[in-house]
Structure 1
């Protein structure tokens, strides 16, 4: 039984979902589809170390609101294709995957919502393909220009980003995590979120996704490519796509001071802080986040 079928059977997501494999940018991505096919297209982009299930609190409400919701396992994750080589995970390819999904849906434009690495992909897509996006929502990740400035100059952010350096080591991170039965990423999810956010059932689903052949190496390759494979597409720092930035203030990875400078680089931007939430705000405060998403998309 496919993972998404088991999740539905457990009533974690009480909605009818369709699983599909969609060709985009020369690879196949596993995509969960929900909601009316004629509705406005909304693409949800997960981050590290999640997969499509990271949006399990959002899929139902967005579909119920009339949106055609597509939720991919991004390249290298879970059931999606896992191309070899660092170059396959450059930010240019990741953004092109999104454009390919929009094309595959038969649309000219879409709303994209991204968290963590998915938010980084969303920022880059908006910067390089602004004519293909209706709106963008990013969660707990700053504009790439702001991120680069803080990581290189702010000591506090340097300390929070230590794991990026660890992930540059060849083969060791993924080997240690696998040998340890995924204890480290599971513990990270739980220790950096509010108590009870990720249940044991959730962790088991994540472990199965991490254990897919070659998956965790591909996931770590996103970080390696970020430092070693510079983007080739030219991007404007100024974001013209209407943007909503949602930020959980108690994020242990990224400082809140990066949020306002990011919105300052948007021609039409809004910023919402969740004072008691962490990096995993869409898991911790789903009803409020969902209401903000729907209100912004409809505005």
Structure 2
């Protein structure tokens, strides 16, 4: 079901190849605010953001994809920005997050989509490809580890354990929300700016994110993703991905080591996989190198 957006829900981006609109779609029992662009008859590409972002993370990719002949959906995932924020940690289990995207693809009347995910959006994309392979015709992952590779490194790699310290802190009740809210979301702002190349996030970018973080229920919604991952570890029914897969990785990621990219790559189809290591690039690959990200997504989308 599609609900017409209110004026304040409309995105503040435009594309030379057509209007970008916002819709609220009811899928998997919740309402997802979704930015939509392109001809409904064109091949479908779904972009999934990570923490602590929202659909805005992919705004620079929308117009080029539409101009190249693709239909684009960019949702705020559950708990974020203008999408619904279910109560309780259990609502943010990985299988529910993946089922949201299945519902979004089905709401387009499409049988499958090219799914592109970064950070937590990449984790959802991996799970989607493993749990519902029939809905993913191509997979692009940016700085997000395959669940098996990540689990192995968390158990055996001291360096990755140290890198993931913040995730353990997220398990505490109410305190993470209070810390993130304090001083006009200073902690979340630093999570972006202090781990990216200087100037990556502009004042205008940060103001847009502050508005998103200030929506009632968002902080608990975002943090519950971390809590759910610890309490309800993902258990997809398979380890090997069927869809042609592109893994993009900024090698200067302070939270996720490059060895995760190498190991994740091994779970992709041997004759239909590609690994692109972006040297000197942080975790925020689509922000630091938007043109290169778009180029890589389009190359993968049109590969034979």
Using the size of structure 1 for normalisation, the TM-score is 0.95
State the partner residue of 1:263: 265
Distance apart, 1:35 and its partner CA:
1.3
In 2: Cα distance, 1:252 partner to 1:39 partner:
37
Which residue of the other structure, out of 127, 149, 153, is the alignment partner of 2:152? 149
SS at structure 2 position matched to 1:181: helix
Q: Does 2:141 match 1:138? A: yes
In 2: Cα distance, 1:152 partner to 1:93 partner:
25
Q: Does 2:241 match 1:239? A: yes
In 2: Cα distance, 1:32 partner to 1:68 partner:
11
Q: For structure 1, which runs of at least 5 residues remain unmatched after alignment?
A: none
Contact 2:245 2:268 in 1 (8 A): yes
In 2: Cα distance, 1:182 partner to 1:230 partner:
28
Note the alpha carbon deviations across 1:258-282, whole angstroms, 9 max, x for none: 1111111111321001102110011
State the partner residue of 2:113: 110
Contact 2:22 2:34 in 1 (8 A): yes
Q: Does 2:182 match 1:176? A: no
In 2: Cα distance, 1:234 partner to 1:57 partner:
31
State the partner residue of 2:288: 284
Contact 1:86 1:229 in 2 (8 A): no
Note the alpha carbon deviations across 1:86-137, whole angstroms, 9 max, x for none: 1100000000001000110001111100000000000000011111111000
Note the alpha carbon deviations across 1:140-162, whole angstroms, 9 max, x for none: 11111000111111111111100
State the partner residue of 1:39: 42
5 Å matches for 1:65-80? 65-80=68-83
Q: For structure 2, which runs of at least 5 residues remain unmatched after alignment?
A: 1-6
Contact 2:46 2:72 in 1 (8 A): yes
State the partner residue of 1:2: 8
Note the alpha carbon deviations across 1:2-61, whole angstroms, 9 max, x for none: 2544x23xx7x6662110001110001000001111110100000000000000111111
In 2: Cα distance, 1:119 partner to 1:66 partner:
23
In 1: Cα distance, 2:293 partner to 2:192 partner:
19
5 Å matches for 1:182-197? 182-197=185-200
Which residue of the other structure, out of 87, 92, 97, is the alignment partner of 1:84? 87
Structure 1 residue runs of 4+, over 4 Å off?
Answer: none
5 Å matches for 1:113-132? 113-132=116-135
In 1: Cα distance, 2:193 partner to 2:266 partner:
32
